Amino acid sequence: MAAARTAARLATRLLERPWLWAFAAAFLVWLATIIFTKGQGGGEILSAALAFGTFSVIVGIGQMYVITLGPGNVDLSIPATMTFAGAASMKIMATQDSMIVVGLLIALACGAAIGVFNYGLIRLMRIPPIIATLSSSFVFQSAAIAYGRGIKIKPPPSLADFTTARIAGFPILAICTVILALVMTVVLHKTVYGRSVIAIGQNARAAKLSGIAVDFTRFVTYVMCATLAGLCGFVLSGFSGGASLNMGAEFLLASIAVVVIGGTSVAGGFANIPGLWGAALFMFLLVTMLNTFGLGAGIRLVMTGLIIITVITVAGGKSTDR
Amino acid sequence: MSKVLTTAVLAVGLALPATAAIADTADKRIALSNNYAGNSWRQAMLKSWGKVGDQAVADGVIAAADAFTTAENQVTEQAAQIQNLILQGYDAIVINAASPDALNGAVKEACDAGITVVSFDGIVTEPCAWRIAVDFKQMGKDEVLYLSEKVPNGGALLEIRGLAGVFVDDEISAGIHEGVAETSGFEVVGSVHGDWAQDVSQKAVAGILPSLPEITAVVTQGGDGFGAAQAFKAAGRPIPLIIMGNRHDELTWWKEQKDASGYETMSVSIAPGVSTLAMWVAQQILDGQDIPKDLTVPFLRIDQDNLEENLANTEVGGVANVEYTLEDAQAVVNAAR
């Protein structure tokens, strides 16, 4: 009897989790796909979803922290940061295995530097984050074009092997990113920094009056977001056989979409990391499903839009009670 | 006053015949209005323009060949740019347009101001402009015709398309499907959009591949072949015959496979140097030549036997390229007459 009540309470608590809906949607879409293919390739599709979802999650974590800072906070420079960091690190590594650590540090440093630049624009020049990060993305995208001139340099062989390796069907990179997500969950909920981010997002003025270092927290968040974008550019270049000028393009919307579909509040002050994974898998599986059904491009795009609206409405309906 | 003017006119009149042997366009200025620069094809296009243009200026054929690129790939931005070029008094504007019809207003203004407008690759439909178009449909059809020679028994095809909603994507795809209808034994079993980008294609192919039967060949639009190869490799599936699109990564991969296992395919695309063809056409029009309004760009096709030669000439990370000469342009013009 007591056990049944505990189970019921657990089920209720689980249903209250905003991230549940993203995972449920991902599962349903996957199910629809393998019903269509009569069970063929279900495991491989999941494996591919994990591999490609990884990149959205890495940039999604940074974007989620930024968005959680409250209304108006968003980083639009993620694609340019990825491209710049990817191009710079690939060029410096010059396919040498011995340079991988140096390349990684370069990518992270590029990201961090762009983050500092972004926050400089926001704080010192008092430019709204949307405008500041958009304009800095022009600067760094152009820098990447000038630096790389469209040159696609292959990653060092060991890096390419590492980023595409799988253990029992699970991409190693995805496992690493799950660990990263766990760490960032602990940081969000258990550290002074993480709680400051949430407090600022809920009410920046109250946070400031209660003695939270608002400026410093925002600074750290923008730098971290850009650094993660740099990391993503680095591993994505390894995964896809080199850095290209348009490699970051799809991550502008993807980084925001996984945050929103994952159940994080766009208004800030309320974040959750597991939802990023659910949303990233959902986004990949959705495209796969529509491709598998063989629908025309127009219908595919309309369906994508409608399904995303449905998921956000269903998931958002729960959190408005808060 | 009028005497001075007459003398000046006379002087010019006397001077002209002497230089006419080179060109009557020595004082003409040509501008390139380009809507996008963010990929390797466009970078090579601009580089070719710069190289051939600078040479033409140095040789005294034209007075200037300046390139202008808009930042955002927006129609409004490019329309504003064209208006600026009109005000700056260029004699000809060569356009790679963001839209076939939305720039027509700006193009008409340029024509009305007496400026020669030549559009290429991304052409404009305004009748006063010249169009150097690509027969994308034929390009798609050629892919299937090649396959029907190579694999007479036919088989399952995976189609990688470009950017949804773009005219080029519809044309190439229509050509592919026309080819499939005309030959026998081929069937398109799956179709994904790869946006002409290697990483997007890799992702899309990796997603759809588990649900597909064995694939005989992959028909592509360029920029997507290497991504497709990577997706097949990652899935542990046999590598099918993948049509390539002249990119350096694609040609390099093909060369590796050719050396390792005698892999055979072909590669076809448009050389980015088509910008230089457009420049020569503009120069010819300024020179007073009678040029048909509609011209067709030749394909740059790479086959098994000239792969090495083309790979060696392709810049690392770039696209196989040809820069056109005045004679090439005249040949294209004569073909259209």
Three-class SS string for chain A? CHHHHHHHHHHHHHHCCCCHHHHHHHHHHHHHHHHHCCCCCHHHHHHHHHHHHHHHHHHHHHHHHHHHCCCCCCCCCHHHHHHHHHHHHHHHHCCCHHHHHHHHHHHHHHHHHHHHHHHHHHHCCCCCHHHHHHHHHHHHHHHHHHHHCCCCCCCCHHHHHHHHCEECCEEHHHHHHHHHHHHHHHHHHHCHHHHHHHHHHHCHHHHHHCCCCHHHHHHHHHHHHHHHHHHHHHHHHHHCCCCCCCCCCCHHHHHHHHHHHCCCCCCCCCCCCHHHHHHHHHHHHHHHHHHHHCCCHHHHHHHHHHHHHHHHHHHHHHHCCC
Q: Would you say how long chain A is, in residues?
A: 322
Q: Is B134 helix (H, G, I), strand (E, B) or coil?
A: coil
pLDDT cut 90: percent of chain A above it: 60
H-assigned helices in B24-160: 40-58, 75-87, 104-112, 136-150
Domain ranges of chain A: 19-315
Task: Give the residue, B1 or A86, on which the prediction is more confident.
Answer: A86
Q: What pairs with residue B247 in β-bridges?
A: B319
Q: Angle at which helices A20-36 and A42-68 pack, to 10 degrees?
A: 160
Q: Kindly state whether B226 is in contact with chain A, defined as any CB-CB distance less than 8 angstroms.
A: yes
Instruction: Specify whether the CB–CB gap between A233 and A86 falls below 8 A.
Output: yes
Q: Residues of B numbered 49-88 whose beta carbons fall under 8 angstroms of chain A's beta carbons: which are they?
A: 71
Alpha carbons B117 and B286: distance in angstroms, whole number = 10
Given a contact cutoff of 8 angstroms between Cβ atoms, the answer to whether A265 and A272 are in contact is: no
| 3-class secondary-structure state, position B70 | coil
Q: In the predicted model, is pLDDT for residue A260 greater than 80?
A: yes
Predicted confidence (pLDDT) per residue in B160-201, tens digit: 998 887 778 899 999 999 999 999 899 999 999 998 888 889
Average pLDDT value over all residues in chain A: 89
Q: Do B102 and B126 share a structural domain?
A: yes
Query: How many CB atoms neighbour CB A42 within 10 A?
Result: 16
pLDDT of B23: 56
- How many helices and strands, by DSSP H and E, does chain B display? 12, 12
Find the domain containing B76 and state its range.
Answer: 2-134+271-300+319-336
Say which residue the tokens 């022009």 belong to. A138
**B11 has a pLDDT exceeding 80:** no
Indicate the pLDDT class of residue A299, thresholds 50, 70 and 90.
confident
- pLDDT tops 80 at residue A317: no
Q: What is the mean pLDDT of residues A206-212?
A: 94
pLDDT of residue B184: 87
Mean pLDDT within B45-61: 94
Nearest to A200 by CA among B319, A192, A93, B76: A192
CATH number of B184's domain:
3.40.50.2300
Enclosing H/E stretch for B295: strand B294-296
At residue B186, the pLDDT reads: 95
pLDDT at A1 over 80: no
- At B13, the pLDDT band (50, 70, 90 cuts) reads very low
Residue of chain B nearest A161, judged by CA positions: B234
- Does the pLDDT at position B8 exceed 70? no
Q: How many CA atoms lie within 13 A of B290 on its CB side?
A: 1
CB of A298 within 8 Å of a chain B CB? The answer is yes
- A19-315: CATH topology: ABC transporter involved in vitamin B12 uptake, BtuC (1.10.3470)
**Contact of A97 with A43, CB cutoff 8 Å:** no
- Token pair 């409250």 is found at A70
Mutate to test the interface with A, among B69, B192, B199 (most CBs of A within 10 A): B199
Please report whether residue B309 resides in a domain.
no
- The answer to whether residue B313 sits within a structural domain is no
Tell me whether residue B305 is in a domain.
Answer: no
CA distance A35 to chain B (A): 11
DSSP state of B68: E
**pLDDT in the model for residue A300:** 81
Using the predicted structure, report yes or no on whether residue A291 has a pLDDT greater than 90.
no
| B248 and B281 both lie in a single domain | no
In this predicted structure, what is the pLDDT of residue B116?
Answer: 96
Beta-carbon separation of A145 and B38 below 8 A: yes
Does residue A189 surpass a pLDDT of 70? yes
How large is the average pLDDT for residues A183-208?
94
End-to-end alpha carbon distance in chain B: 47
CA distance A208 to B47: 53
Ramachandran region, residue A132 (left: φ > 0; alpha: ψ -120 to 50; beta: rest): alpha
* Number of domains into which chain B is organized: 2
Q: Is B282 among the domain residues?
A: yes
A89 touching chain B per CB within 8 A: no
Residue with tokens 């992959």: B218
- Please compute the mean of the pLDDT values over residues A175-185 and round it to a whole number: 96
The answer to whether residue B311 sits within a structural domain is no
Instruction: Mean pLDDT check: name the lowest of B7-21, B65-79, B88-102.
Output: B7-21
- If asked whether residues B64 and B144 sit together in one domain, one would say no
- Report helix, strand or coil for B118: strand
Task: Report the 3 state secondary structure along B180-231.
Answer: HHHCCCEEEEEEEECCCCHHHHHHHHHHHHHHCCCCCEEECCCCCHHHHHHH
Q: What is the mean pLDDT of residues B314-326?
A: 86
Question: Do B63 and B112 belong together in one domain?
Answer: yes
Give the rounded percent of residues in chain B with a pLDDT score beyond 90: 70
Q: Which of B254, B241, B260 is nearest to B305 (CA)?
A: B254
Whether residues B70 and B195 share a domain: the answer is no
Q: What is the dihedral of CA A205, A136, A114, A110, to 10 degrees?
A: 160
Cβ within 8 Å of A, B 156-215? 161, 164-165, 190-193, 197-200, 202-204, 206-211
Residue A293 touches partner B, C-beta closer than 8 Å:
no
Cβ within 8 Å, pair B207-A284: yes
Residues B243 and B283 in one domain: no
Residues B180 and B254 in one domain: yes
The one-letter amino acid at A99: M
Q: Does B292 touch chain A (CB under 8 A)?
A: no
CA atoms within 13 A on the CB side of B266: 18
Q: Per the domain annotation, does B209 fall within a domain?
A: yes
CA B99/CA B166 separation, integer angstroms: 9
* B44–A contact, CB cutoff 8 A: yes
Query: Is the pLDDT confidence value at B249 over 80?
Result: yes
Whether B90 is covered by a domain: the verdict is yes
Task: Tell me the C-alpha distance between B243 and B281, whole Å.
Answer: 31
